[in-house]
């Protein structure tokens, strides 16, 4: 038998390779670093992220399949790559001091973030269900560990365990879905599935539909869509805050990338079938997320519910099933990355070991004591609430317009109503900060350069995308041209 090695296009793997190598380097280097002073490992990771970003830029505008159609490096994947890299970079910047403060500074932390990012990139670029599955697992396993990284904290343990059990449970369903897809179409290649479906005479094959349903469940779990969302609040609350930030942006973005690629590209011919389901899920997700967020008192938990709600908004873009809607998803994810990471950054900075200040009441009077930090938080909250002129507003506007354009007026109406409800709890934080007397003493903030840089990047991103969104919208549009 002849072994025909397929064309190995190492260049197309550039970002993934760079990150993997950086991760291994971080592991090696951190062995030689003194205990508790592992920040060089963080800066090394940032260097890796930077080069991965550069190589992503070089790959832009030149879509190619490589490794026997296992991955497709197109603008869509690269756009998501940049979101993952932003999420990873900002999370690492926020972690440096946070870990030292918690006496948990270990090089492995950064290496795992990089591994998780590699997994995300494979999810976004994967053009075979198996590649996507392996990317998803690489990401998930790293995140399980990161969620439980604070080994002595009961909450962190619990968070990791819950995420692990439910994640593995949902992976099994995803896998079952892949098996059925494989059985029904004879391939797991996204292009192959799409070709099969466009030729198939019989689209009501129950195995095909059930497989699709199970894929929906698998992705729905990762994006935290109702009713697969239950893990989100607990896991987000218990995980180290910088990991919560990373999860809420990175994992969600990666899951959406794969979700969009599989459903809007590969399963496009079944769009009438899945669209209704997604419509219902989007409504449930938005509504439940927003309604329950109102009665939360822990700010991380509140943001967890808010992230559920945001998943609902983004699903509207999928239901719209148009170029506008898909580019809206990309744009929204980018905006969400900046604003959500920023909000978590403020939370990290406002906490202390043994005094996490996670209760919403702890934020009362913050506006007087730390006007700068409170101002940042206000910007992020406004953006999450979708108040102009922030990135969140433009994102919502874009997605809702896409829904209307595709004729889903009711969905848009429900979305708008939801975003109005959401203002209530986001503004609650602002009100606490500016309109309440402080309830307790706080020792003072420990600004660190890395945290400051992270917050500045986040706030600039949030405002810049809100005020001058055109270039980013253009990029998002260029990224989805393969679709439809």
By beta-carbon proximity to another protein, the closer residue of 55 and 131 is 131
By beta-carbon proximity to another protein, the closer residue of 162 and 352 is 162
Angle at 419 between CA 414 and CA 420, to 5 degrees: 95
The least CB distance from residue 4 to another protein, in Å, is: 6
By beta-carbon proximity to another protein, the closer residue of 193 and 341 is 193
Residues 6+ apart with CB under 8 A from 88: 45, 49, 113, 114, 116, 117, 246, 250
The least CB distance from residue 115 to another protein, in Å, is: 4
The least CB distance from residue 212 to another protein, in Å, is: 7
- Three-state DSSP state, 204: coil
The two structure tokens encoding residue 405: 């354009």
By beta-carbon proximity to another protein, the closer residue of 83 and 308 is 308
The least CB distance from residue 191 to another protein, in Å, is: 13
DSSP string over 388-401 = TTSHHHHHHHHHHH
By beta-carbon proximity to another protein, the closer residue of 58 and 169 is 169
By beta-carbon proximity to another protein, the closer residue of 249 and 387 is 387
DSSP string over 67-133 = TTTTEEE-HHHHHHHHHHHHHHHHHHHHHHHHHHHTT---HHHHHHHHHHHHHHHHHHHB-BHHHHH
By beta-carbon proximity to another protein, the closer residue of 101 and 323 is 323
The least CB distance from residue 453 to another protein, in Å, is: 20
The least CB distance from residue 145 to another protein, in Å, is: 3
Cα–Cα distance, 143 to 234 (Å, whole number):
14
Q: Could you give the count of Cα atoms lying within 13 Å of 268 in the half-sphere of its Cβ?
A: 19
The least CB distance from residue 127 to another protein, in Å, is: 11
Cα–Cα distance, 429 to 310 (Å, whole number):
18
Cα–Cα distance, 331 to 350 (Å, whole number):
29
């Amino acid at each position: 038998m002849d072994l025909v090695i397929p064309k190995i296009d190492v260049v197309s793997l550039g970002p993934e390779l760079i990150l993997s190598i950086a991760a291994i380097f971080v592991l090696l280097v951190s062995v030689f670093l003194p205990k508790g002073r592992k920040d060089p490992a963080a800066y090394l990771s940032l260097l890796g992220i930077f080069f991965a970003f550069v190589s992503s830029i070089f790959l832009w505008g030149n879509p190619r399949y490589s490794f026997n159609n296992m991955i497709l490096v197109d603008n869509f994947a690269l756009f998501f790559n940049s979101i993952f890299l932003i999420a990873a970079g900002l999370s690492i910047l926020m972690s440096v001091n946070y870990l030292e403060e918690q006496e948990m500074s270990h090089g492995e932390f950064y290496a795992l973030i990089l591994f998780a990012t590699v997994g995300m990139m494979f999810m976004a670029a994967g053009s075979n269900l198996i590649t996507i599955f392996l990317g998803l697992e690489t990401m998930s396993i790293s995140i399980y560990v990161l969620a439980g990284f604070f080994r002595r904290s009961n909450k962190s343990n619990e968070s990791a365990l819950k995420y692990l059990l439910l994640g593995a449970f949902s992976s099994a369903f995803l896998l079952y879905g892949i098996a059925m897809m494989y059985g029904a179409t004879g391939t797991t290649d996204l292009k192959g599935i799409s070709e099969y479906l466009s030729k198939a005479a019989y689209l009501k094959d129950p195995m095909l539909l059930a497989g699709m349903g199970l894929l929906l469940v698998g992705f729905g779990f990762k994006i935290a869509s109702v009713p697969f969302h239950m893990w989100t609040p607990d896991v987000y609350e218990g995980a180290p805050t910088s990991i919560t930030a990373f999860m809420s942006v990175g994992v969600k973005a990666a899951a959406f990338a794969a979700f969009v690629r599989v459903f809007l590209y590969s399963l496009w011919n079944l769009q009438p079938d899945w669209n209704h389901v997604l419509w219902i899920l989007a409504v449930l997700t938005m509504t439940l997320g927003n309604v329950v967020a109102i009665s939360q008192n822990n700010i991380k938990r509140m943001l967890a519910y808010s992230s559920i709600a945001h998943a609902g908004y983004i699903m509207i873009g999928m239901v719209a099933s148009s170029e506008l809607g898909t580019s809206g998803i990309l744009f929204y994810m980018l905006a969400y990355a900046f604003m959500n990471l920023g909000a978590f950054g403020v939370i990290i900075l406002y906490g202390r070991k043994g005094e996490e200040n996670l209760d919403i009441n702890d934020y009362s009077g913050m506006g007087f004591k730390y006007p700068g930090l409170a101002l940042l938080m206000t910007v992020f909250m406004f953006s999450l609430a979708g108040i102009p002129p922030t990135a969140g507003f433009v994102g919502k506007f874009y997605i809702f317009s896409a829904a209307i354009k595709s004729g889903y007026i009711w969905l848009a109406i429900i979305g708008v109503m939801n975003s109005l409800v959401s203002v209530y709890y986001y503004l609650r934080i602002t009100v606490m900060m500016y309109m309440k007397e402080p309830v307790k003493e706080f020792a003072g903030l420990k600004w660190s350069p890395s945290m400051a840089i992270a917050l500045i990047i986040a706030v600039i991103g949030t405002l810049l995308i809100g005020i001058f969104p055109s270039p980013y919208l253009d990029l998002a549009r260029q990224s989805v041209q393969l679709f439809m």
